[in-house]
Amino acid sequence: MFNDRLQTLRRDARLAAETVLREHGFVCSDGAWSGFLDGAEHGRIPVHCRLPEEFPDSLPEVSVERSILPRRLPNVEKNGKLCIAPSTGLLLDASNAGGLIRDALDRAKALLIDGLSGRLDEHFQHEFLAYWDANTRETFLSICDPTGAARELCIIQISQNGGRLPDGRTFLVAESLSAAKAWLGKLKGKVIGHQAAFFLPLTSPFAPPDFDESPSAQSMLNTMRHLKCLTPSAPG
């Protein structure tokens, strides 16, 4: 009985939502709704709207083709889905399905306009790891002081050897090889190889690479030349 009632409520909510989408000029094809949002000075922006099975207990999803945008936008996932609300702590009025659609489209419109205008560019720093870790196949651990001065460090490729370290290719950044060995000894890890590295603390952030972008060492050096960095100590 309860499940039947739930299905009826969700069906009615979906019908109400679809009515609002049609009122906004959206057209349904293969379960996805396509239409346009008014981007003000940026013109009409084509978007897609999808109603998840859990609707109205979960938000509708609004997405855009990233390739058609004139500039890169924050708060847009790799597949084009717009992050119109936080993933947790959000209360939805499931009794107002039409209102949920209107609110989702309004939020998407505001996000696109502000993003295209550059007003959200600082959000790239807030979302840095979402871009930086997108294609990473290795795990990097650090036992260094991140607030310390510029200095030479040691990067060690390690093996867990039956211990408690992550699977796959894992690297440890340490102040020295001896410090790394002492730390690894407690976790039953061992050193496979090591090389020198240089720690350069930055005093200003830089924009992360795009999802499918793998920056070269030269491009990172060029980026850092345009940033304010702490001056490294002179070699002894």
Report the pLDDT value the prediction gives residue 108, as an integer from 0 to 100: 96
59 DSSP 8-state letter: P
CB atoms within 10 A of CB 82: 21
CA distance 229 to 201: 6
Q: Which pairs from 37-41 meet CB under 8 Å and 24+ separation?
A: 37/105, 37/108, 37/109, 37/112, 38/109, 39/109, 39/112, 39/113, 39/116, 40/113
Tokens of 138: 């290795």
In the block, tokens 């107002």 appear at 96
Residue ranges in the chain assigned as alpha helix (H)? 2-23, 97-116, 123-126, 128-132, 177-185, 217-225
User: Distance (Å, rounded) from C-alpha 21 to C-alpha 24?
Assistant: 5
Domains of the chain and CATH, by start: 2-121 (3.10.110.10), 134-225 (no CATH)
Q: Is 116:75 a contact under the CB 8 Å cutoff?
A: no
Which pLDDT score, from 0 to 100, does residue 149 have?
86
Pick from 159, 198, 150: nearest CA to 180:
159
The encoded tokens of residue 80 equal 């084009």
The pLDDT assigned to 89 comes to 55
pLDDT of the residue at 166: 60
- Mean pLDDT by groups of 10 residues along the chain of 236 residues: 73 92 94 94 95 89 94 93 78 84 95 95 86 74 87 88 64 93 84 90 82 82 70 44
**What span, in angstroms and rounded, lies between the C-alpha atoms of 28 and 19?**
11
